[in-house]
Amino acid sequence: MNINQLEVFCVVAKTGGLSQAARVLHLSQPAVSGYIQALEKSLGVVLFTRHSRGVSLTAEGRALLEHGQKMLALYESLQKTLAQVQKGELRLSLAASYVVGNYLLPCGLWSFKNKNPKVEVSLDIASPPDVIKKVFDHRVDLGFYEGPFPVGEELAARIFGTEEIIFIAPAAGKWLGKRELTMAELAREPFFLRETGSGLREALAEGLSKYGFAPKDLKVEAEFFGYDPVKAAVQSGLGIAAVPAVIAQREIKQGTLVGLRLAGKTLELNFFMVCRLERQENDLLKKLAKALCSEGNTCQDSGATNEQGLF
């Protein structure tokens, strides 16, 4: 088996036909068929079932596709790394969730760049599950996300920061001067939630459950992608919401929102950094992790992930 055969196989699997794959790859259909036959011969298995509409994967084909996509991603990453070494370039690709990327990383990244001016750093903003997947698929070197998301056996993660979860309400009427929210008020007030897959939403559900409050008892009026529409809805007096404290600092200081803590209780949102296990000892990643941790973050091992500590 070689990389070319594997690439052709993945394209055929994605397009569902030899002729479709030939057009994508700019090859003749007999050439594509030859690659597949050679791959099946080298592995000793049948990868596709042929039918009038094209082809479909066999059980063996599905297994190869799962691992083959990872192998191609790893091969692409290796090519990029070798090219950078040859050119004397140093690059780090990062992915982070909205809160981490926009509020927690900038100072640490500036500190790192200031001490390592020759290193090029790129940052992609994505949802926590997508951040983890990008790291798993070798598309980025290091990921940052919030919330209780499992990372899998091939990844290592650790907590690098914690933020308090607060509730926000409009700075008007009954909320003026108020500092705490009771469980009864939480159950009674119209509530705005982040979308499914949000780290805040997962952490909120987990935290409330610990205090005997079922998340399903929230009077949810709407779900929003992102924090800006959540804050806008609350400022309009339509209800309340939960956010990481750092998200609402400006509005609370300006007097357009009121920040409330759950009476007698604390809700927290953990932030994680994650990389592949084999990348833990990379010197450049170690330098970056040190720079980020020096910016006041906790950087502690997370018992909820792998036993191997990150860096």
3-state SS, residue 224: strand
Residue 82, pLDDT > 80, answer no
CATH T-level fold of 162-269: D-Maltodextrin-Binding Protein; domain 2 (3.40.190)
At the fourth CATH level, the homologous superfamily of domain 85-154+277-296 is: Periplasmic binding protein-like II (3.40.190.10)
The stretch 190-196 carries a mean pLDDT of 91
φ/ψ of residue 157, rounded to 5 = -135, 155
Residue 306, pLDDT > 50, answer no
Give the Cα-Cα-Cα angle 168, 169, 171 (nearest 5 degrees): 120
Among the ranges given (115-124, 161-170, 225-234, 285-294), the one the predictor scored with the smallest mean pLDDT = 285-294
Among the ranges given (46-60, 79-93, 173-187, 208-222), the one the predictor scored with the smallest mean pLDDT = 79-93
Average pLDDT over all residues of the chain: 84
- Structural domain spans, the chain: 3-73, 85-154+277-296, 162-269
Q: What is the architecture, at CATH level 2, of domain 3-73?
A: Orthogonal Bundle (1.10)
What's the pLDDT score for residue 52?
A: 80
What's the pLDDT score for residue 242?
A: 93
Q: What is the pTM of this model?
A: 0.64
**Topology match between the domains 3-73 and 162-269:** no
